[in-house]
Amino acid sequence: MSHYPNLAKNYGPTPFDAERGEGVYLYDTKGKRYLDFSSGIAVNALGHGHPLWVKAVQEQAASLVHCSNLFGIPSQQRLADRLIERAGSGRILFCNSGAESNEALIKLARLHGRERAGGKEGQCYGVVCADNAFHGRTFGGMAATPQEKIQGGFRPMLDGFSFGILNDIKSFENAIDASTAAVFIESIQGEGGVFPADTGFLKELRALCTERGVLLLLDEVQCGIGRTGHFFAFEKSGVQPDAIGMAKGLGGGFPIGAIWMAESCAELYQPGSHGTTFGGNPLACAAAHAVLDAIEQDQLLEHVQTVSVEWHSELKQLVESFPATVAEVRGEGFMVGLALKKHMAEVVSVARDKGLLIVPAGHETIRLLPPLIATAENLNESVQILKAVLSELA
């Protein structure tokens, strides 16, 4: 473990220095190879150095990297078209990260609330989120994230946030009042420990939001862009949100975020109401097009759905084989949480020693987030390493 003296201490000590990546593998500066099921925290959808992605980014870098949104960017317009094909008719606003996409969603909620209050500000601006949520580290994101470890030291939080309990519709019914402008949840809670919103709950939440005139905003920053084997994780539920936040996997490693807004609320953003210097620049858009191209050409959604069936059943066997350590398996497709009864930190570090990178999450859970290109053999390798880790710690 090391801590570089000239870097801020906001991250803990790191176990190794990364040097290069190739497909599903990450290599450290000593040449050790790791099966990378951290994917840069659900970012590297195509793994490392995917030829299609590298070519697209190299060519774009040589042509035009950045020009600002003062000028039209044809590849940004085409990217908006492609995201709308996935999400439904509406409009897209580009930004650079998950937290920024959530800021744009929260600002959309406020614009909607102002409209509902007949143009008056400060009357209808509340946002109801879920306990155990994670929406990012900006002031909007922190206010939507009711965790002491996130909010501590930064209070007072932004006003107007209240919380229901995921999958408990009554708690949301009670939390919404006349000052509420939107409900905002993750389709699958990621940092909180991989807790999916149930289909039944999402349907009831949609109906509740429509009935009360509040927007339903879904954070798909971590679970979106194919991670579950569906382009968006909520798709399976058949529910149509009013807006969606995305980032992480969208750029396959290059920073880009976006929100999709349904036609019904897309007019809320007007010239001057929001902006970004970098968001959706030509290089970021080239990276995102490459991710979407690979998802389509290599049928990665179908691939994730197919190979995850056997993988999940192998992971579930770990619950039976190691009942004293493993409690349950949660999640969908390539977004999996293994809930542990003990030893979370040790499982992460022994797995790393044995060449597997995984990510800790809330509620004593380890997350496995393979790149969408991971093969059945790669998935099986992760189970074999976890078996060895759990046997050693038993």
Ligand X SMILES: Cc1ncc(COP(=O)(O)O)c(C=O)c1O
| Tokens representing residue 363 in the block | 């509620």
Q: Give the binding site for ligand X (CB under 6 A).
A: 41, 97-99, 102, 134-136, 186, 190-191, 219, 221-222, 247
Nearer to ligand X, 369 or 379 (CB): 369
What is the spatial distance between Cα 178 and Cα 114, in angstroms, rounded to a whole number?
12
Q: Smallest distance, Å, CB 257 to ligand X?
A: 7
- Contacts of residue 5, defined as CB under 8 A and 6 or more positions apart, other chains included, come to none
Nearer to ligand X, 96 or 382 (CB): 96
Nearer to ligand X, 243 or 247 (CB): 247
Q: Smallest distance, Å, CB 62 to ligand X?
A: 27
Nearer to ligand X, 247 or 344 (CB): 247
For residue 156, whether the previous peptide bond is cis, meaning omega lies within 30 degrees of 0, is: yes
186: three-class secondary structure by DSSP: strand
Backbone angles phi, psi at 327, to 5 degrees: -90, -50
What is the spatial distance between Cα 269 and Cα 277, in angstroms, rounded to a whole number?
17
Q: Smallest distance, Å, CB 101 to ligand X?
A: 7
What is the spatial distance between Cα 7 and Cα 5, in angstroms, rounded to a whole number?
6
Q: Smallest distance, Å, CB 156 to ligand X?
A: 21
**Residue least distant from ligand X (Cβ):** 98
Q: Smallest distance, Å, CB 95 to ligand X?
A: 10
Nearer to ligand X, 42 or 294 (CB): 42
Secondary structure (DSSP) of 18-43: EEEEEBTEEEETT--EEEE-SHHHHT
C-alpha separations of 45 from 223, 363, 376, 381 in Å: 11, 25, 16, 19
Q: Smallest distance, Å, CB 165 to ligand X?
A: 17
Q: Smallest distance, Å, CB 119 to ligand X?
A: 31
The continuous run of DSSP H or E covering 361 comes out as strand 359-361
Contact yes or no for 45/254 (Cβ under 8 A): no
Nearer to ligand X, 192 or 229 (CB): 192
Nearer to ligand X, 124 or 366 (CB): 366
